[in-house]
Amino acid sequence: MANLASTWSQQGRSSEAEQLQLQVLDLRKSVLGKEHPDTILAMANLAVTYYDLQRYDEAEKLEVDVLNLRREILGDKHPDTLLAGENLTATYKKQGRDTKVKELELQL
């Protein structure tokens, strides 16, 4: 399911990808737990889809969770943590939240 959602997302079929990604996230949370790397990846993928759909508030909520979890589990300098920070920065830029962009860039 996750692979199909990824394919649909790459094809620009973001609305369809979202539905599958929601199912994947729910399953991974219930089976693996919120802190499992696969669950965090599902959260990050859904956030990208929300970003692509210009649903920046929803993307932001997930991206904040992803960044916090990756910091806690992987540390501040891990490439996945840095990528999560970059994604959140991009969302803040789209929202016109320049102060948040600067704050986050100083942390990364």
> pLDDT tens digit string along 8-64?
988 999 999 999 999 999 999 999 999 999 999 999 999 999 999 999 999 999 999
Whether 40 and 70 have beta carbons less than 8 Å apart is answered as yes
- The pTM score is 0.92
**Would you say residue 95 has pLDDT above 90?**
yes
pLDDT over 90 at 108, yes or no: no
Q: Please state, in angstroms and rounded to a whole number, the distance separating the CA atoms of residues 86 and 92.
A: 10
Confidence class for position 96, pLDDT limits 50, 70, 90: very high
Query: Which range of residues forms the domain containing residue 85?
Result: 2-107
Structural domain count, the chain: 1
| CATH classification at residue 70 | 1.25.40.10
Q: Are 52 and 31 in contact (CB under 8 A)?
A: no
As a whole number, mean pLDDT of residues 62-83 equals 97
